[in-house]
Every structure is written in C-alpha cells, then in structure tokens.
Structure 1
Amino acid sequence: MAALGNPEMLTRKIKLWDINAHITCRLCEGYLIDATTVTECLHTFCRSCLVKYLEENNTCPTCRIVIHQSHPLQYIGHDRTMQDIVYKLVPGLQEAEMTKQREFYQKLGMEVPGDIKGELCNVKPHLDSQRNGDLKSEDPANKEAGDEKAEEDNDYHRSDEQVSICLECNSSKLRGLKRKWIRCSAQATVLHLKKFIAKKLNLTSFNEDVAKGFIGALSSLQDFRCNPVSSSKAPDTGS
C-alpha cells in the first residue's frame, strides 16, 4: 500500500537496450527505417530490407507465414506509427537518416525529393529546442521568435510528394462530394481520407459506410500503386 502513495516507486526506467528487439529490423538488425508491416502477421521491418527479401520469398522473415503465393508485396504497408515511435526513442536517428538520404541524392547529382526536405525542416527546430534546453522558452520575446521560426520551417507537408485522388461515390446511400478531386501528401493515410469524407458528408461516424474494406486505416497513400494522372484529367483543386 505504501508503494501506491509514492509515485517514484511506481516509475521504472527502461534502457533502450531492453526494447531494441521491438524497434529493430530482423533482416538487417538495425533500427527500423521506413518501417513497413506485413498485414497478415503484423511483423515490421525496414521497407528496403523487406522488399528485397520478398523478391525471392513469399513468407514473413519472422514467423514464416505465407504472405501471398504470388504477390506478397501487395500485402505490406508503411507503418508510420511505428516509425514515429522509433524516431522518438532513438536520439538523433531521424536527423541522421534524413541527412544521409539528402547526401545520397546530392552525390548522384539528383534533386532531393520534397518529402526529405520537409522532414529535415520538421526535425531541426525540434532538435534545436532540445539541445538549447528550456531557458529560452522562459523569455516571452524568445518564445514568440521561436514560434514564428517554427511556423516558417513547418510547411505542413507541402514539400512532400503530392498525389491527386478522385473520390467517387459508388453507393446510392451517400451523396457525392462537390469536388471529387483532391491533392494531398503521399504520407496521408486512409484514415485521414475517411475523416475528410466524413466531415464533408456530415457523417456522425466515419467508420460507417465510408471506405469499408480490406485497406488498413494506417496505410499511407504511397503504399498504393496507382497509374499517374495527367494534368488534363486532374482538374486544379486550388490551395
């Protein structure tokens, strides 16, 4: 009973080593990068590691369950939640990975993709605030300047790879959208689309009648292989 009254006794510090098994890739034994989960068994790996493995195999590297006899790559999905957890747990990992990718493209003389630029913009203000401590935040002038700088750096995923999506209703129970074409970040998830549609149609529950099916709610739009849409077919959606 004494332990219940003492919060310090209820707090347990866990070393990163103790949870490494849950945030590392079984194939390369490194921390998860671009975490990708097998939908059949929910085991997670680095995307590049898993894709390379599935070029010659159709089973999960961990549990050996058959993902799909002929098209296993269609049954894996980007796990953004897991990747966010890994980046938050491992200090400096996200910044190091984004920098490495940027240097890779620059070395090849290629333009750095917009999503990598956006990630770097989002990471740097957060890391700078951690390194500088909370002293500056106590000063109202510094806090206001910091807020303005953060707002400038945060581009709200406008620098991400963009995709155009046509939302057409095939049910007589639901009315169609006024504007069926939208343009958004490829990092957006199916859950984001469900919430967007529910808001536009004034649905009380976005789980009802909207996007029911096999597609995972946390799957990002970049996981789906769509045919590119020409500008003549995709109308301007505005800002």
Structure 2
Amino acid sequence: MQDIVEKLVPNLKQSERNRQIEFCCKRNIPIPCEISVGKSAQDIDLMDNGKVQNYHRFDEQVSVFLHSSTCSLKHLKRPFLQCSVHATIKILKKFLAKNLGLGIHKHSQLDILCNDEILGKDHTLMFILVTRWRSKKPPLHLDYRPSIILV
C-alpha cells in the first residue's frame, strides 16, 4: 500500500521529513534521530542482497509455557517462550529436541499436548489458541512427553 502512495505522490517522505525538521527548529526541539530518509532500519534489516527475509519478527506474538508431563524428560531451564502465532508444533518439537539434548532429528520422538490432546505437527499456535485455548488466560500451556507408539 505504501508503494502505491509513493508512486502517486513522489517525494512524500522527503517533504514530510523537511516539515518535521522545520517544526522542530521553530520550537527549539531536538530533532529525533528516527526521522530518516529512504528505507527504514526495519526494511534494511529484512533485506539481504535484494531478497526479503521473513523471520516472523513482526507477526502477532503468543506466550507459551512448555512443561514436561513425565519424569523421563527433564524440564527446560526457561520454559516460557514468546513466538509467532504462525509457529507450528513441528518447530516447537525441534526446539524441544535440541534443548533437551535429543538432537534435532529426534523431534519425531516427542509429543506435544494441549488439554491432554496430542497436537498435530502442522497445527499453528494461532489454531491452537482459537480451538483449544479459547477462554483461558495466557500463557498457552503445552505439555511434552516422549511419543507413545501403539502396536
């Protein structure tokens, strides 16, 4: 949307910056350093050789509390996480496997549960919040345990 506005009104950012500087000078206010020309620092950080990288930093965030439901797995030193609502259970399993010392490739040997229901690997945290954590207060409480294989 911003690109369309910039095409319709060329030099909009520059003229806005000039007006802000003029305003600050008239009132003897120090000029804030966030008034910048061109790309913002956020835009520059997301660019890598002309390719935009999205790490979900600017998505809606959710607080998660991970707790071991069995004695066989150790508890995390820092059980509280702040992550994107687009993060999946598979990502959390890989995080747990690495932090529990199982190795990142052993993530399939873990189950993550919410309200004693096993969550699928493709469930996003937003889906879990909407379907299984509707009326409860944050943080989202998730339990983890070793996978149980039924024969």
Q: TM-score, normalised by structure 1?
A: 0.32
More strand by percentage? 2
Q: TM-score, normalised by structure 2?
A: 0.48
Computing the radius of gyration over CA atoms, which structure comes out larger, 1 or 2? Answer: 2
